[in-house]
Amino acid sequence: MSTYPTDQLLRYTFIDQDVRGELVQLSSSYQRMLQGHEYPAPVQRLLGELMAATSLLTATLKFEGHIGVQLQGDGPLNFISVNGYHDQRLRGVARVRQEISDDQTDLRELLGKGQLIITLTPDQGERYQGVTSADEDSVAAILENYFSQSEQLHTRLWLHADGEHAAGMMLQVLPSAGTDLAGFEHLEHLTQTMTAAELFTLPGEQVLTRLYHDEQVELYPAQGVEFFCGCSRERTADALAAVDPTELEEILREEGQIVMTCEYCLAEYVFT
């Protein structure tokens, strides 16, 4: 059994390059997100990649609040979404409308004609939503395209998941770099040598040492990542309060109770 810290995010910068990086490794939080859902294996992997990506993006927020990263389309997998708070509490869900076999791994086939929707919701301030095409081969490529269009910052992501572990790395040019990408391209070449197996099994600090042993890296304190649904009986009751009372009375007459199930954690709330 592994004893190294997991479910954590590491942020770092390169002292002599205008580039920042992040590394996230997930296991129990990812498994908790999947628990009870019986997603097909390709959906489990995509949800893990999106969870890792959302953790990486959440760490770039300059405000307290949350980010929602959502893919939707007209294919067999018509909706997959992960929400992350600024303190790295994450939850996610997927909706499948057709049977998906274990060998269906082509993202375009799974999503069909799709789009990426990123929603930033500060606790204080205005909400922002960005939308871009999801016509790419991978979740990483979709997000890289989003950054090139909206943030105009050169960004690379590496995302991996296998149903048990999920991991991701991100490199991003800092605005101070201007148009000089030579340093970034050097670090990009180094980073893409890391395998999924190594990201799943090596401590984060060891990953960074292996990749960047000749670079000057400033590493910031690790931040824990956890699955957090946020549902409660009170919030569920508030949702029921918005339903027509006559409709609720009819359900109670026919069923004797109203059962509400959280789509994220599958907790059941019973009202009589």
| pLDDT one-digit tens code per residue, 195-221 | 999 999 999 999 999 999 999 999 999
Whether residue 93 is predicted with pLDDT greater than 80 in this model: the reply is yes
Domains and their CATH numbers in the chain: 8-227 (3.55.30.10), 233-271 (3.90.1280.10)
Whether residue 142 is predicted with pLDDT greater than 70 in this model: the reply is yes
How high does pLDDT run on average in the chain? 91
pTM above 0.95, yes or no: no
Give the span between the Cα atoms of 145 and 161, in whole angstroms.
Answer: 21
Give the span between the Cα atoms of 55 and 88, in whole angstroms.
Answer: 6
Whether residue 1 is predicted with pLDDT greater than 60 in this model: the reply is no
| pLDDT one-digit tens code per residue, 147-197 | 888 767 889 999 999 999 999 999 999 877 667 788 899 999 999 999 999
Q: For the chain, percent helix, then strand, then coil, each to nearest 5?
A: 35, 30, 35
Say which amino acid occupies 272: T
Whether residue 231 is predicted with pLDDT greater than 90 in this model: the reply is no
- Helix pair angle (41-58, 139-146), 10° resolution: 30
What is the pLDDT confidence band of residue 268, given thresholds at 50, 70 and 90?
Answer: confident
At a CB cut-off of 8 Å and minimum separation 6, what does 201 contact? 2
| pLDDT one-digit tens code per residue, 111-137 | 999 999 999 999 998 999 999 999 999
Name residue 115's beta-bridge partners.
Answer: 72, 133
